[in-house]
A and B are shown apart, each in its own frame.
Chain A
Amino acid sequence: MKIDNNVSEIEKMSAAELDQKNSRRDALKQATNIGGKIALTALPLFLSGLFTKAKAGPPPPPPTTSEVLTVLNFALTLEYLESGFYQTAVAAGASLIPSAVDRTAIGVIATHEMEHVNFLKSVIVSLGGTPVALPTFDYTAGSGSGAGPFADVFTNYQTFLAVAQTFEDTGVRAYKGQAPNLVQGGAYLTAALNIHSVEARHASHIRQMRYNNGFADVKPWITLNQSGINSTAVQPSYNGEDNTVQAGIQIVNINGTGISADAASEAFDEPLTTAQVLDIVTPFFA
């Protein structure tokens, strides 16, 4: 089933409804605050009970309107960044992207990012919020100097693809990091997840484009914390991706399967916090 009516579904959950759940959430938060913290701390130690404990206790209330808006405007900011990036590339055309096949793919991705921008704006408005304004970007990562580490981003195709890969991989991690803020968030969470997986599809394809453009070590998935990009500027987007322990379970050679550290790290993409994402993207803001 394709969700082609997300906005209307979301609109069904009125602001009043959310506010009602809001007060319930606050009361519940206070009541369970201490217990919740203890349970979280103990989580890795009691794995056998990990998935059965969840049944106990009432489900958490959905996020408040304000919490949803915060996530959506954060997402919109990242989509602005990506959308503007690809629009510039599409406008540059063959002068930047030599092959017609690649130009088509970048055009496809550009369209998706623009659709994400418009979708997020419409949802924000439907919730009574105000979409954040379109920022001015410096895609050289020079904080407005136009002379950052990616100074030739729109004249050197390899640089362009490297930045594209970093944006997509970072986008995947950023959406993933926001998901817990939308837990039990119904259509809002589903919409965010439906964007998240598209960013991952983009990342996979951009990585294949880099493979086809001379980077034989770059796979569609992220191996350890390797960027496959010859620039330390992108490393924060890959730090932590080498994690091989999930919910306290070591994936390397799990149950004697011989799974390597490379594969164990590739099998799980890692989230980034809001602060980590902001640190990564700040140099791209003029």
Chain B
Amino acid sequence: MSSSIIGKKVKVASVGLDSFFNDLKNEGADAVKVDWKPPAGGAPAALKVLEDLECEEVDEANSKAISAILSAEPKFVGMAIAKEVIPELKGMSLSHSGPPIKWERMSGPMKGAIIGAAIYEGWIKDESEINELIKGEQIKFMADHDVSAVGPMAGVISPDMPVYIVQNATTGNKAYTNFNEGVGKVLRYGAYGKEVIDRLNWMKDTLYPMFKESVSKMGPLSLKPIMSQSLQMGDELHTRNVASTLLFIKEIAPYMTGGGFTSSQISQAISFMGGNNLFFLNLAMAAGKVTMDAASGINKSTIVTALTRNGTDFGIKVSGLGKEWFTAPAPVPKTLFFPGFKEGDANPDIGDSAIMETNGFGAFSSAASPAVTQVVGSSVSEAIRVTRRMYEITAARDKSFPIPALNFEGIPRGIDLRLVIETSISPTINTGVAHRLPGMGTVGFGIVDAPLGAFDKALQRFGQIV
């Protein structure tokens, strides 16, 4: 508890008139300036809600949410076939990235991935049969996030796909995610050709049993140390997972032998992991999901627990607003294209992988990843600026994940809806970019700002309940 300020050296923060800050400096006082602007661009309705949310109850609720985030201990504990662990995936049902969406409104890559999953499941022979299935409303769609799952890009998980099981050792909750297939012609980017289906089958028939056995021999693998170390090694863990993938291989490789798999199968599996710089991403995402789920459903908390996109809509969830989705149209990322692709090919933002930013990684940790900064902007200083900007909208800095370039300052974690609205600073997201047509695949990598409209809606809901 603070006591008197009389008779001790005081440090003053000035919020408002520049002249007062300048006067403080001129009289030699220790002073800090807040670059104040009317909150929410001066919108009176938003200001009213922001005022109501500026209270002890919200701060306390947020402290609980932040403590859940900081104390989460995500561990890779096992493998399963999706329908064994996700009860909602019964019969002809699929989960997908982003907020819930109907087929009619789905983007090209989402539709492509669903066609691929239906072929993989044997529901259809080829894409020509999909319309029949859709007309009959035979496939039940649901959001990954609503069934304790996450998946990058289209994020389609079908009943017979293998999934990782990640558990939060602190709270016991689990999350599921699929294997990462690499880039190019892959299901999650909307491709569904033979090579895509062949790869999925190989994953199920070879990689899955090998992983299942390896992880049971290895025991639960803590993901936090891998993530922290890889951050030191230049990954931001969203669009760059080079170090994390290698660190993961180092952990699992010793357990891959001796289980009845041929040396060529093992070699193929290790090459596959090593050849895919995003292999670890899915595990990192599931780590984010078990972390954010532990921070969900705390009454009055304004901490954002999900940022995600389905290629059409951008959706967010907020701890104190429970399971409700708040959406806005998904923007098209500012993209660096692979050769052969150009402006106009890019689909609007897609994927659950923004769970990485929700959890403090990806663009939020740009300053830790000089190599990725060129996606983020033109220079390392711009990347540092992005991380600094994210500090403005987050409630905590987590020293478990120090950023060398910021003098080992912790990464920004725990997006506070109030701060997003107040400063009009959008969470920035690093992302892969899919072709807007089904069947095409990856077109590049890019950067995107979460649309503020989704946050505005969440604030309005708070306005109705506080």
- Asked if chains A and B come from one complex, the reply is no
B residues lining the A interface (CB < 8 Å): none
